[in-house]
């Protein structure tokens, strides 16, 4: 497996990849969620390139950029074991050299959900992914549905900017007890780790209510809010019932499959997200 630290190394290495290229962008500290993307990419492409880059432009001023967990040696071992062809590990200066001032913005889908509490987040995500797509020139790129809004925003960007890239959604990978895997779970204390199960419980409560026939968007949103409120230390950022494509709030009767139930909750000082898309099976 190759290790590319600079854009020049990546471009030189990319020219040597003949056939289909799959791409998995990450911020590192890899877990089974990331590995599920890499595994799928390895199955579907001749070469898989993984990027590990903690992208400063997607962090707000009071967020965890400085303390974001890192274990590059372990990440490299995991990528090699999964059969990745190369890992791209650029520095922040390589991606955003001094004087950098160009950004990509998706204007509508980012007005909802995480976009409200993290106003500059998706601008950073779109900018870095657009830059990485230009550099890596993948045929397919793999994203997890744990970050459902991110997937929809990037899908929109790819369409709007005519990137010749197929975006492939991958299911949420969970711990045995249901907690969605996340590099940020590492921040949790033992008690916090237990409290974090409240996100999945809120989604399970919604599923139970749907199975009993509840169809009011407002009532289903209240169920999520009340479940989170029942936890002594969880602090709700948002719990929303939203249209799965436009991400707009659904307050009234929901009918169509594909409705999104999404929430963001602070446990201790860590902001965790989870979601479920309603389907009958």
Q: Is 173 in the site for ligand AMP (CB under 6 A)?
A: yes
Residue 248: closest CA among 236, 237, 259: 259
Pick the binder of ligand AMP from 27, 128, 199, 203 (CB under 6 A): 27
Q: Are 249 and 241 in contact (CB under 8 A)?
A: yes
Pick the piece of the chain touching ligand AMP (CB under 6 A) from 7-15, 158-166, 179-187, 206-214.
179-187
Q: Is 33 in the site for ligand AMP (CB under 6 A)?
A: yes
What is the residue-wise DSSP string for 69-95? ---HHHHHHHHHHHT-SEEE---HHHH
Distance of closest approach, residue 142 Cβ to ligand AMP, in angstroms: 7
CB-CB neighbours of 16 under 10 Å:
10
Q: What are phi and psi of 131, to 5 degrees?
A: -60, -45
Pick the binder of ligand AMP from 13, 144, 217, 244 (CB under 6 A): 144
107 token code pair: 């204007």
Q: Is 138 in the site for ligand AMP (CB under 6 A)?
A: no
Pick the binder of ligand AMP from 14, 34, 112, 131 (CB under 6 A): 34
Q: Is 277 in the site for ligand AMP (CB under 6 A)?
A: no
For ligand AMP (CB under 6 A), the number of binding residues is: 17
Contacts of 89 (CB under 8 A, 6+ apart): 3, 4, 5, 51, 52, 53, 72
Nearer to ligand AMP, 36 or 221 (CB): 36
The verdict on whether 34 is a catalytic residue reads yes
Q: Is 147 in the site for ligand AMP (CB under 6 A)?
A: yes
Distance of closest approach, residue 231 Cβ to ligand AMP, in angstroms: 21
- Tell me how long the chain is: 281
> Using CB atoms within 10 A of its CB, is residue 73 exposed (0-12), middle (13-18) or buried (19+)?
exposed
Pick the piece of the chain touching ligand AMP (CB under 6 A) from 64-72, 115-123, 172-180, 246-254.
172-180
Q: Note the residues at the interface with ligand AMP (CB under 6 A).
A: 26-27, 33-34, 36-37, 143-144, 146-147, 170, 172-173, 180-183
């Amino acid at each position: 497996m190759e290790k590319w630290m600079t854009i020049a190394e990546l471009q030189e290495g990319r020219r040597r990849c003949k056939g289909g290229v799959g791409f998995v962008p990450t911020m590192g500290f890899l877990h089974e969620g990331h590995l599920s993307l890499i595994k799928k990419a390895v199955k579907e492409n001749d070469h898989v390139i993984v990027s590990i880059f903690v992208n400063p432009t997607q962090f707000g001023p009071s967020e965890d950029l400085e303390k974001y967990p890192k274990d590059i040696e372990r990440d490299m071992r995991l990528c090699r074991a999964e059969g990745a062809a190369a890992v791209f590990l650029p520095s922040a200066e390589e991606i955003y050299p001094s004087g950098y001032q160009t950004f990509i913005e998706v204007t509508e889908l980012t007005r909802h959900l995480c976009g409200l509490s993290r106003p500059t987040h998706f601008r950073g995500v779109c900018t870095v992914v657009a830059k990485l797509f230009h550099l890596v020139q993948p045929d397919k790129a793999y994203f997890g549905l744990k970050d459902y809004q991110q997937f929809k925003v990037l899908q929109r960007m790819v369409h709007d900017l005519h990137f010749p890239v197929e975006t492939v959604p991958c299911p949420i990978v969970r711990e045995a007890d249901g907690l969605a895997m996340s590099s940020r779970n590492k921040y949790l204390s033992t008690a916090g780790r237990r409290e974090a199960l409240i996100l999945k419980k809120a989604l399970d409560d919604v599923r139970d209510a749907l199975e009993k026939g509840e169809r009011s968007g407002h009532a289903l949103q209240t169920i999520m809010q009340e479940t989170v409120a029942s936890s002594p230390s969880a602090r709700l950022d948002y719990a929303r019932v939203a249209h799965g494509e436009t991400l707009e709030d659904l307050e009234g009767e929901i009918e169509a499959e594909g409705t999104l139930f999404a929430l963001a909750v602070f446990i201790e000082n860590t902001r965790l997200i989870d979601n479920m898309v309603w389907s009958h099976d």
